Amino acid sequence: MKLMARTLPFLKKQNPRDAFLVLDIGTKIIKAVIFFVEDEKIIIIGYGKKHHNLENYTKNVRRLADLCKTAISQAQKQSRIQKINGAILGFGGGFIKGETFSQKFFRENFQRTIDISELKNILQKLQWKAREEICHRPEEAASCPPKLLQSWICEARVDGYLVTNPFDFQGKEIMLSVFNSYSSADFFNFLEEFSSFLKLELFGIFDESFAVYQAILRKKIPNFNAIFIDVGGLSTNVSVARKGKFEKSVEFGLGGQNFTELLTRTFGVSELEAEDIKIKYSRGELGYGVGKKIAKIFEKASLLWHKALNLSFEEFSFKRYLPSQIYLFGGGSLLPELRDGLIKKKAKEHLSNLADFKAEILTPSHFKDSVGMVKGIEDYGFPQDTVPLSLALFFSSTLKKESIFEKILKQTLRIIQ
């Protein structure tokens, strides 16, 4: 479905024939991708990135906008396109959260067909309940009342039967599952200010983990089950999909930067030099002796990361039944300690939830069937590019014609804001 173009005052409608911009604003790197949509595929024509050291970019809006403009300028130079019709945003750092909410509705007059009025009523009830559920959590006190940024219909069932749209069906029970991404009111205000500094129309603000999940679903995998681990600069995001349904995302404050700082302190080099050493180590480009030394330096930090990962699994229900398929992506995911450590004894002691599983690095090549062309773009195709590519793919799916059900959901979102 289309993102609710009128739900947020600064979001605009979009035309699939235009050139679009994805801005993936991570905790350490800003990435800009320029693309257009052709025959349900995305064509990437420009790529730019900019490192930053903003501890909390929401407190320095103008500086963040300037850094984004630098990354955008690189992408524009490469694409030779100066006019960008609008931007799709994704943010790291846990400012945007996402979760699927489900509810059953029992119908007294079950012989009557489900009409638009009834669908509006049950969707409003579900969304109000979702807001209340968020506010009842102690850790979400700062987010209340939450600002819903995006809603997506994940599943609809009538009397247990899966349906695309319950409109005009008969039945005693309706079960709906809706994914909501949301932020605090403070971050919502930041988005409005940021969009004015950026001087670009905003077409969507998406939950990044959900975008990756939706990108993988383009392969039409039935009853898809997976754990997604996005290893960013300052944090790691963990999300779970079970039985084809995205559940939620949680985050902990350890990422690739922790390993960079270890190298800075150990070798007495600058952060940029340490980052370069870490990247070469991750890609196996260092000699055996140096690589072995770095592996020793990273040993304790990787065990700490695995402990934090295990604690994050506590946030999910039925943790003993977590999926066996793990997708790692993000700039820090190439560190061999993180992937290989999942199956080594020392790390596995801290990952008792996972018995037999597969850990796979998720790169843009995984989505090659959905990408028409990536031509002349250097330094692209690594795990850190998985999120911006997924944001572009997810956005392209919103350009399709909306169903009545999706239009009602959009209207409901506007009502309860």
DSSP per residue, 37-70: EETTEEEEEEEEEEE---S-GGG-HHHHHHHHHH
Q: Verify that 158 and 30 share a domain, yes or no.
A: no
Q: Verify that 88 and 101 share a domain, yes or no.
A: no
- Which pair of tokens denotes residue 166? 């319950």
pLDDT level of residue 340 (50, 70, 90 thresholds) = confident
240 part of a folded domain: yes
8 part of a folded domain: no
Q: Verify that 172 and 32 share a domain, yes or no.
A: no
pLDDT for 10: 45
Q: Verify that 60 and 108 share a domain, yes or no.
A: no
Residue in the block written with tokens 């600069």:
233
User: Which of the pair, 11 or 175, is modelled with greater confidence?
Assistant: 175
Residue 357 contacts residue 324 (beta carbons within 8 Å): yes
pLDDT level of residue 257 (50, 70, 90 thresholds) = very high
Q: Verify that 260 and 321 share a domain, yes or no.
A: yes
Q: Verify that 176 and 129 share a domain, yes or no.
A: yes
Q: Verify that 132 and 261 share a domain, yes or no.
A: no
What does the alpha-carbon distance between residue 73 and residue 69 come to, in Å, rounded to a whole number? 6
pLDDT for 263: 94
Cis peptide leading into residue 145 (ω within 30°): yes
Per 3-state DSSP, the chain is made up of helix, strand and coil in percentages (nearest 5) of 40, 25, 35
Section 48-71 average pLDDT:
90
pLDDT for 3: 34
* Segments in 82-146 forming alpha helices (H): 116-135
pLDDT for 231: 95
- Tell me the residue ranges of DSSP E strands in 330-394: 358-361, 371-374
pLDDT for 353: 55
297 part of a folded domain: yes
Q: Does residue 284 surpass a pLDDT of 70?
A: yes
pLDDT for 123: 93
211 part of a folded domain: no
pLDDT for 349: 56
Q: Verify that 294 and 324 share a domain, yes or no.
A: yes
What does the alpha-carbon distance between residue 310 and residue 100 come to, in Å, rounded to a whole number? 22
216 part of a folded domain: no
Per residue in 205-239, pLDDT (tens digit) is 999 999 999 999 887 677 788 999 999 999 999 99
SS3 call for 348: helix
SS3 call for 346: helix
SS3 call for 270: coil
Q: Verify that 31 and 171 share a domain, yes or no.
A: no
Range of the domain at 323: 221-362
Mean pLDDT for the chain overall? 85
pLDDT for 142: 67
Domains identified in the chain, total number: 3
Q: Verify that 28 and 140 share a domain, yes or no.
A: no
Query: Comparing 77-91, 177-191, 255-269, which segment has the lowest mean pLDDT?
Result: 77-91
Section 285-293 average pLDDT:
92
Q: Verify that 90 and 148 share a domain, yes or no.
A: no
User: Which of the pair, 13 or 202, is modelled with greater confidence?
Assistant: 202
> Over pLDDT 90: what percentage of the chain?
49
pLDDT level of residue 5 (50, 70, 90 thresholds) = very low
pLDDT for 244: 84
Max alpha carbon distance in the chain (Å)? 75
- Which pair of tokens denotes residue 98? 């996402």
143 part of a folded domain: yes
Q: Does residue 112 surpass a pLDDT of 90?
A: yes
Q: At what angle do helices 208-217 and 386-397 cross, to 10 degrees?
A: 70
Contact residues for 276 (Cβ-Cβ < 8 A; gap 6+): none
Residue in the block written with tokens 């800003």:
30
Per residue in 70-89, pLDDT (tens digit) is 999 999 998 888 788 789 99
